[in-house]
Chains A and B, each alone.
Chain A
């Protein structure tokens, strides 16, 4: 088994095919989208492939150390930041192909007009542990 991170972006990903902001959808289309996401996670729990899923608020702050005895420096949020992560799902699957297949399904979540969004999701493999048998 190998773990993969499926990353969804608020911005920074290439434009989706069905690229309409959510507040322009019909209310029932929003409900259908939510339902699809919940069903997807529930199905992966049943197949034993779900690890974790979290959503992030769009506003963040940059922070860095500013030397002994000083409070950390904060900055942002920067409107021009290119990449903004919206949330993730961690899956534990048998193969890279399976990870790609699932990301494809997630990207098919319905959007405006009830049609699939075709949004771009980023698939990132986790570094695994060193196997016991290496030779």
Chain B
């Protein structure tokens, strides 16, 4: 039984049920039931004996949907609900997978609901897997998904949506990283690849490139003890050069179309890092230029903060500190950036104090440990 194959078929099977007239929420449940059934009855470890896996899933899911619709109808004593089974035949060639992406990222959904619904309806993950990945009880995740389905129940399936909302959802999934059984970063890449195959859009390509370029560096990002390794200290031999090459190629093709967007600009910055054989050889001047582009596109304070770091590398720590001075000190990671620039400027006392302050404000334990270690390193050096 090939789980990857099963999961890749999920959205198109679901879309076929909806196209046949099933409502989205019921169809989604039926597809999940069919996936569970497939896991149960398809023999394991002997390849896939079912030559038309998609046809099998459509048949089983449709039957489950009809069973449910009939029992609902009986329960409600509503004789007017007539579910007609369409004649059996080849599954339609039209692929509505893209519509599913739009529906699951609908603007009426909160980000957490959109993420959960996308992972289940498009990704084919079970509620239990999604709950584990987000470290919440399964019952909580089940509620989140069923509320999300209710929210989009009135949305027409055939209306085009906004690709930008879909990209935001996929970006959120990717950034969640991995905990438990499910590798959400890998799942986000799979879903973005699938989306890129459905829609020709430079920002979809930009996001895919961005994900690949970051994913390629994953093995170098953590030490064996689980602690964070900053970019400059990473063992570049552990980066995945094939993923980097693929990311760069996808990015170049997207940039050539001359419709720049924020994901392409972010990917360009990631590509410049990935491209440097050593940290010292990083092309910081070009990175600053890309941050300028990114600022024109987003005007985000976080981008300004990262730009200050890049300026510190390109033009020296004083220039970086000058760029930083224009920013609100309450920005997340502001103290960490200031500490880094002061250390590079040779002011170890200020740097140690700011690293300790940054550790207090760190958004997660790994960063807190890293920043505390930086403060400890400078304090230890001063004492000697």
Tell me which of B361, B369, B380 contacts A34 (CB under 8 A). B369
- Chain B at the A interface: SS class: helix
CA of A26 to CA of B365 in the docked complex: distance in angstroms? 18
Tell me which of B226, B355, B363, B369 contacts A30 (CB under 8 A). B369
B267 at the interface (CB under 8 A from A): no
Interface residues of B (CB under 8 A from A): 225-227, 352, 355-356, 359-363, 365, 369, 372-373, 375-377, 379-380
Nearest-neighbor residue (CB-CB) of B373 within chain A:
A27
Q: What 1/0 mask marks residues of chain A from 55 to 90 whose CB sits below 8 Å from any chain B CB?
A: 101110000000000000000000000000000000
A34 touches B376 (CB 8 A): no
* Interface size classification for chain A: 10 to 19
A23 touches B376 (CB 8 A): yes
Q: What 1/0 mask marks residues of chain A from 12 to 32 whose CB sits below 8 Å from any chain B CB?
A: 000000000011111101110
A24 touches B379 (CB 8 A): yes
Nearest-neighbor residue (CB-CB) of A21 within chain B:
B356
* A30 in contact with B360 given A35-B225, A38-B226, A55-B365 (CB within 8 Å): no
Interface residues of A (CB under 8 A from B): 22-27, 29-31, 34-35, 38, 55, 57-59
How many pairs, one residue from A and one from B, have CB atoms within 8 Å of each other in the complex? Answer: 40
Which residues from chain B contact A26 at a C-beta distance below 8 Å? 376, 380
- How close is B332's CB to chain A, nearest CB, in angstroms? 12
23 A-B pairs within 8 Å (CB atoms) are namely: A22-B372, A22-B376, A23-B352, A23-B355, A23-B359, A23-B372, A23-B375, A26-B380, A27-B373, A27-B377, A27-B380, A30-B372, A30-B373, A30-B376, A31-B227, A31-B373, A34-B225, A34-B226, A34-B369, A35-B225, A55-B365, A57-B362, A57-B363
CA of A126 to CA of B352 in the docked complex: distance in angstroms? 41
Known: A23-B359, A24-B376, A26-B380. 7 other contacts (CB 8 A): A22-B372, A22-B376, A23-B379, A26-B376, A27-B376, A30-B376, A59-B360
Nearest-neighbor residue (CB-CB) of A26 within chain B:
B380
Nearest-neighbor residue (CB-CB) of A55 within chain B:
B365
CA of A30 to CA of B369 in the docked complex: distance in angstroms? 8
